[in-house]
Amino acid sequence: MKDENNALNNFTKYDLFENWKNLQNFPTIGMFNALTKDYNEYLEDLLSLNRIIVDLQKNLSAYWLQMSKANFRAIEEVILKSKSDPDLKDVNSEKFRLLVIDAFEEAYSSLFSSKEFAIAYNEVYSKQLDIVNYINRIVEKNLKLLNIPTRSELDEVLKDLQEMKKNLRIMKSRYEKLNRK
């Protein structure tokens, strides 16, 4: 015998899932929905982070290749010059030290002055900054969840403050000029 006043009677298997889904989608209590959404974003961030680390590794290899080539050039110069000059046979002499310093200075200075080095050096640094940016993004997401001001929000405040200080100074200076008159 069915009790018509019992609400549970209407709770079919299908309704159970439907209601649970509705519950999940409430913006304030839909924690599973929020968690799943964030999980995907975190996963994407981590994948991107890995991609950047691989790129950084590539850039670092290009950078160290240039450094190694300069090193070899310097060593080659030292060997050639010390072979041709008997005074340079003693590796403990000051003359030999000066030869080594000159050879390495020449090789590395020409490397550091080249456009190729500047590109490689800045690419390495740029990728390191990408890593910092991704970590910042993850931190910002957490700060938002905790309802704490994020770095980019504070940046906006700092920008406004600087602008206000500037305007205040201009107003003060105008006021002083008027008073002097």
Partner 1 sequence: MAIQDKNTQNRNLVDFSKVAKTIELLSRDNHISVGDTPNDIVCETRLYRLLHYHSLVKRVSHTPILVVYALVNRSYVLDLQRNKSWIRHLLTQGFDVYLLDWKSPTRMDKYVSFDDYVNSYIDDCVEIVQNNNSADKITLHGYCMGSSMSAMYTALHQEKIKNLVTIAPVIDTSKDTTVIANISRQMDIDKLVSSIGNLPPEKLYEVYSILKPFKQGVNKYFNLIENIDNESFVQNFLRIEKWLYDTPPIAGETIRQWINDIYKKNLLFKNQLKLGKAKVDLKEINVPLLNIVAEEDHLVAPECSVPLNEVVSSEDRRLIRFHTGHVGLIASSYSQNNVLPKVGQWLKTRSN
- Using CB under 8 A, list all residues that contact partner 1: 87, 90-97, 101-102, 104-105, 108-109, 112-115, 117-119, 121-122, 125-126, 129-130, 132-133, 136, 155, 158-159, 161-163, 166, 169
Residue number, 144 or 166, with CB nearest to partner 1:
166
Distance CA 74, CA 105 (A): 8
CB of 147 to partner 1, least distance (A): 22
From the centroid of its chain, how far is CA 109? 29
CB of 138 to partner 1, least distance (A): 14
Supply φ then ψ for residue 127, to 5 degrees.
-70, -35
Q: Indicate the SS3 state at residue 114.
A: coil
Q: How far apart are the first and last CA of the chain?
A: 100
CB of 117 to partner 1, least distance (A): 8
Distance CA 63, CA 122 (A): 10
CB of 156 to partner 1, least distance (A): 10
Q: Which of 51, 24, 73, 41 is nearest to 145 (CA)?
A: 41
